[in-house]
Amino acid sequence: MLTDRQIKILITIIEEFVKSAEPIGSRTLSKMEHLPYSSATIRNEMADLEELGYLEKTHSSSGRVPSEKGYRFYVDYIQANTEDNDMEFSPIHHLFSNKNIERDEAIKEAVRVLSEITNYTSIVLGPSADHSRVKKFEFVPLTEKNAVLVLITDKGHVESKNLIMPEGINIKEVEKVIHLMNETLVNCLVSEIPEKLNYELKPYFKQFMDYHEKLIDSILKAFSTLVSDQYYLSGRNNIFYQPEFQDIDKLQKLMIALEDTQMLRIIQANEKGLQVRIGHENHIDAMQNCTVITVPYEISSEEHGTIAVVGPTRMEYSKVIPLLEYIAKNISKLYK
């Protein structure tokens, strides 16, 4: 059990190290107003914290740096001692409030802004199309040339796609196609939609009128993103600018991991809520110097997606965690 003084010193060391990436010494700490202790007292406490495994001593300096155990204590401490609040992040709030942006585009833009604000790599993982089945298609005309095609799955997930109408198509013809899609595609896997549209419905319509084929092509284009996990990554190159990853071999392995399916295993949706995996908790060699923070968002009562941030263990946890939770909450609202 750490004393209040040890906690105060440990938290200060972690927050100063996050800012500077330089080992922190007792002399630096003794000059801080909120630590009214002598250098000798601070030095002794730092030695005890090192012995307890919360700090590590570097070879190049007399200062200390946080260990994985120290970061874990810090994350647990700030979560336990931070009051829930409804803080608002203006750029992201405006993005989610914009009714003219499609949901998928809003989510991608939010992930891009997240990587920009944090200077880390951001990832969003949407619902998989592998196990969802078609329940119903609906068609909502907006103008003569624009409409929305809505897919409802057996899991209660609603996916809408903007549809640009081919020249010469009238609404009645579109309704015929949607009716046939409902007759033919109901209960098929969402991942099978493109194949069935292309090889079953398209040849059938081609014998009637060419513009039906063009309509099927428009629908195919609209639903092409549903055939795999909706995985979007932003700010991958931010890793280049972190002092921890100046080693080319480490960097190369990390880049491969970010693009590989092993990363998907780490960030799979977890309904339990916020997860912070520090260093070796990631169980992937390339991620031993990284922290991965994941927060689930609700797609339907049975489906969840994940938003995640990947960065060094020397991460601004107090900034990243509330930002991630805010974005996840707003993505859930988009699906409702």
pLDDT top residue among 295 and 285: 295
* Per-residue pLDDT band at 206 (split at 50, 70, 90): low
| CATH code: domain of residue 265 | 3.30.450.40
* Per-residue pLDDT band at 214 (split at 50, 70, 90): confident
> Averaged over 11-19, what is the pLDDT?
95
The residue with tokens 């932003």 is: 234
pLDDT tens-digit profile of 134-166?
889 888 887 777 788 888 888 777 777 777 777
Query: 288 with 152, same domain?
Result: no
User: Quick one: pLDDT at residue 203?
Assistant: 76
Taking the C-alpha atoms of residue 294 and residue 272, their distance in angstroms, rounded to an integer, is 11
pLDDT at 313 over 90: yes
User: Quick one: pLDDT at residue 321?
Assistant: 93
User: Cα–Cα distances in Å, from 23 out to 20, 28, 195, 311?
Assistant: 8, 10, 57, 19
User: How many structural domains is the chain composed of?
Assistant: 3
What tokens were used for 266? 């780490």
Query: 124 with 258, same domain?
Result: yes
Query: 235 with 324, same domain?
Result: yes
User: Quick one: pLDDT at residue 256?
Assistant: 78
Range of the domain at 145: 134-226
**Of 211, 226, 241, which residue constitutes the final position of a domain?**
226
Percent of the chain at pLDDT > 90 equals 33
The secondary structure element, H or E, covering residue 296 is strand 290-298
Query: 106 with 241, same domain?
Result: yes
| Residues 121 and 115: beta-carbon distance below 8 Å | yes
> Averaged over 233-258, what is the pLDDT?
81
User: Quick one: pLDDT at residue 207?
Assistant: 60
> Averaged over 32-45, what is the pLDDT?
92
User: Quick one: pLDDT at residue 60?
Assistant: 61
pLDDT top residue among 247 and 73: 73
User: Quick one: pLDDT at residue 71?
Assistant: 97
- What DSSP character marks residue 29? H
User: Quick one: pLDDT at residue 211?
Assistant: 60
Query: 123 with 235, same domain?
Result: yes
Counting other chains too, the contacts that 224-228 makes at CB distance below 8 Å and 24 or more residues apart are 224/194, 225/104, 226/129, 226/151, 226/159, 226/190, 226/191, 226/193, 227/129, 227/190, 227/191, 227/193, 227/194, 228/128, 228/129, 228/191
